[in-house]
């Protein structure tokens, strides 16, 4: 991979870390945004199960289904034919047994054309990660605030602050690396801990609310574009205010329709 090329495969992610090049990841749920992102410097598109909240309006990610994830991932693949795409395995599609995890992760790759899957959890998931990787299914891990465990964690809040939690998370990260994970998302962790984990691994970490010491960063696209206006966590930076643009465009349309300014002669057919 040359210095400004985007990664085409999972091996490029580890090479990027070794070269000190930060990984840019964004969520993407549909072909329209995938087409736009495909012409940007985004390295990885993540079909996150956050779509269950962002698109479907649910409180948590827990009710996302495998079929929904495959549908959205296939749409993203059609919009970004050469993109590096990872897909969240939804709740209960990989925790019950290793054979089920292999079947479900395999379906995601086979039916959507994505490059790999992401799953949540550390040491208890290591055997599952190893089984997937040994069968040719690339896996990205996810530690810290793992949204599928929101009820067990007592809400969406920063993890890793209580005594012993740092050591446990570091052991989780090492277990995922040994099992063959190609990268690990670190969500809502103290910056110093995320940096310590990042420097302890050869595979890249991709942070969200985990400070500047990770090897890459991910945000939910709708959040950073200002399309999810009620969501204002401390870590989020708005790179656009598209919610305002949408409202203003729709108000202009309504005004012109009611004022008979649109459609005009130019918008009709002879
Ligand atoms: O589901 C998702 O979008 C995610 C990111 C927040 C990392 O897991």
Q: Where are the alpha helices (DSSP H) in the chain?
A: 10-18, 31-37, 51-54, 66-79, 98-112, 126-134, 150-153, 165-179, 191-200, 221-224, 242-258
Instruction: Tell whether 259 is covered by a domain.
Output: yes
Instruction: Tell whether 1 is covered by a domain.
Output: no
User: Is 47 in contact with 114 (CB distance < 8 Å)?
Assistant: yes
- Whether 224 and 263 map to the same domain: the answer is no
State the closest ligand 1 atom to the C-alpha of 25, by its place in the atom list counted from 1.
7
The rounded Å distance from CA 82 to ligand 1 centre is 21
Ligand 1 neighbours by CB, cut-off 6 Å: 27, 46, 48-50, 88, 185, 187, 208, 218, 220
- Residue from 121, 176, 178 nearest 149 by CA: 121
- Containing domain of residue 134, as a range? 10-239
Taking the C-alpha atoms of residue 221 and residue 223, their distance in angstroms, rounded to an integer, is 5
Instruction: Tell whether 4 is covered by a domain.
Output: no
The rounded Å distance from CA 4 to ligand 1 centre is 25
Instruction: Tell whether 5 is covered by a domain.
Output: no
- 270 residues of the chain, pLDDT tens digit each: 544 578 889 999 999 999 999 999 999 999 999 999 999 999 999 999 999 999 999 999 999 999 999 999 999 999 999 999 999 999 999 999 999 999 999 999 999 999 999 999 999 999 999 999 999 999 999 999 999 999 999 999 999 999 999 999 999 999 999 999 999 999 999 999 999 999 999 999 999 999 999 999 999 999 999 999 999 999 999 999 999 999 999 999 999 999 999 999 999 999
Q: Is 187 a catalytic residue?
A: yes
Instruction: Tell whether 137 is covered by a domain.
Output: yes
- Whether 258 and 179 map to the same domain: the answer is no
- Residue located nearest, by CA, to atom 4 of ligand 1: 48
State the closest ligand 1 atom to the C-alpha of 187, by its place in the atom list counted from 1.
7
Catalytic residue (one of 100, 111, 162, 187): 187
The rounded Å distance from CA 256 to ligand 1 centre is 39
Q: Measured between alpha carbons, how far apart are the two ends of the chain, in Å?
A: 53
């Amino acid at each position: 991979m040359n210095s400004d090329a985007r990664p085409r495969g999972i091996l490029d992610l580890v090479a990027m870390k070794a070269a000190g090049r930060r990984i840019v990841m964004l969520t993407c749920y549909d072909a329209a945004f995938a087409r736009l992102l495909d012409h940007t410097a985004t390295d990885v598109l993540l079909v996150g199960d956050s779509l269950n909240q962002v698109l479907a309006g649910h409180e948590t990610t827990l009710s996302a289904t495998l079929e929904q994830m495959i549908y959205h991932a296939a749409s993203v693949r059609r919009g970004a034919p050469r993109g590096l795409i990872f897909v969240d395995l939804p709740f209960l599609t990989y925790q019950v047994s290793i054979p089920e995890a292999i079947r479900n992760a395999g379906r995601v790759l086979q039916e959507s054309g994505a490059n790999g899957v992401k799953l949540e959890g550390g040491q208890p998931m290591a055997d599952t990660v190893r089984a997937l990787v040994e069968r040719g299914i690339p896996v990205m891990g996810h530690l810290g605030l793992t949204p599928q465990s929101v009820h067990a964690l007592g809400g969406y809040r920063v993890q890793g602050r209580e005594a012993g939690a740092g050591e446990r998370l570091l052991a989780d990260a090492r277990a995922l690396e040994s099992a063959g994970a190609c990268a690990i998302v670190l969500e809502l962790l103290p910056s110093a801990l995320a940096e310590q984990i990042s420097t302890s691994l050869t595979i890249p970490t991709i942070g969200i609310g985990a400070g500047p010491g990770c090897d890459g960063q991910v945000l939910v696209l709708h959040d950073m574009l200002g399309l999810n206006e009620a969501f204002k966590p401390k870590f989020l930076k708005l790179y656009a205010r598209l919610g305002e643009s949408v409202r203003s465009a729709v108000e202009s349309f309504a005004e012109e329709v009611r004022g008979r300014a649109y459609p005009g002669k130019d918008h009709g057919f002879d």
